Amino acid sequence: MKYILVFLIGFLMLVASPLHAQFKEKPIINLENEDKALLNWGYYLGFNQYGFKFEYKNDLDDILVDKSIGFNVGLIGELRINEFLDLRFEPGLFYTSRTLGFKGFTNPNDALREVKSTYINFPLLLKVSARRFGNWKPYIIGGVSASLNLGSNENSLDDNSSGTFRMTKTVYNWEVGFGIDFYTEYFKFSPSIRGVFALSNELVPDNDPNSPWTGNIDAMKTRGFFVNFTFE
């Protein structure tokens, strides 16, 4: 939670100064034709924090999830539909790490599993914008995505009994968020916050159906958020 608060405070500080400048009575309009092109291109950088939502077969001890901060980088392709709607394709590389804590073990090597994931994400999103106010414009964005987890260990013959935690390589998600477009003299800058929610079960169970690590897990799905800084 403290990382989320730090991100939100930083985000508000980032947008406060530009917003104050844009509420002048007659601001100088930058990049007047920026949003009129049929196709638009850009890139983004950002940070993420991923966790898991577990569904259990029986009411036993919950699995603990220790989250960390990861990073995002990607490209943007945008198709203009009209003044308020844009269809966006935002392929990107997302790196994150999570540590899972399993109760009932005395040996730390058995109780902890570090889950490192490198996702190649392919989201198809609809951006819904408000009318432009001077040099800024708020928007909401949402859609679906498919991700390839390069660190999944899905095809590994080893499982948790050998210290290997396995996940599916392909993950399907839905995403939703909000942000603000700021029109500077030379480019459009857009800070945004977005949540990601997996639709598919990502767990590859251990070979033993009664495994103390995965035997009680009915489903494991990613839950996370990220902060992106977009340049177009």
- Give 218's pLDDT tier (boundaries 50, 70, 90): very high
Q: Check residue 69 and give its pLDDT.
A: 94
Separation of CA 149 from chain center: 13
Name the residue with tokens 């408000």. Answer: 130
CB distance 123 to 89 below 8 Å: yes
Q: If you write DSSP's letter for every residue of 98-136 in order, what string do you get?
A: EEEE-TT-SSHHHHEEEEEEEEEEEEEEEEEE---BTTE
- Mean pLDDT of all residues in the chain? 89
The model's pLDDT over 157-198, given as tens digits with 9 standing for 90+, comes to 999 999 999 999 999 999 999 999 999 989 999 999 999 999
pLDDT digits (tens, 9 = 90+) for 41-83: 999 999 999 999 999 999 888 999 999 999 999 999 999 999 8
Half-sphere exposure of 184 (CA within 13 A, CB side): 11
- Catalogue the long-range contacts made by 25-28 (C-beta closer than 8 Å, 24 or more residues apart): 27/134, 27/135, 28/135
Q: What is the pLDDT of residue 7?
A: 52
| Distance separating alpha carbons of residues 191 and 212, to the nearest angstrom | 43
With b for 16 or more beta-carbon neighbours within 10 A and e for fewer, the 87-109 pattern comes to ebebebebbbbbebebeeeeeee
Both tokens assigned to 98 = 């999570």
Average of pLDDT values for 28-34?
84
Residue with tokens 């993950």: 171
Residue keyed to tokens 């999103």: 125
Q: Which residue has the tokens 């106010």?
A: 133
Q: What is the dihedral of CA 120, 125, 128, 133, to 10 degrees?
A: 30
Q: How far apart are the two ends of the chain, measured CA to CA in Å?
A: 31
Residue 3 has pLDDT above 60, yes or no: no
Q: By percentage, how much of the chain surpasses pLDDT 90? A: 77
Domains and CATH numbers, the chain: 2-24+40-231 (2.40.160.20)
pTM for this prediction: 0.82
Is 123:143 a contact under the CB 8 Å cutoff?
yes
Q: What DSSP state is assigned to residue 146? A: E
Three-state secondary structure call for residue 161: helix
Q: Using alpha carbons, list the distances in angstroms from residue 98 to 86, 166, 171, 219.
A: 34, 13, 16, 17
In the chain, what percentage of residues exceed pLDDT 70? 89
Range with the poorest average pLDDT among 7-11, 74-78, 83-87, 129-133: 7-11
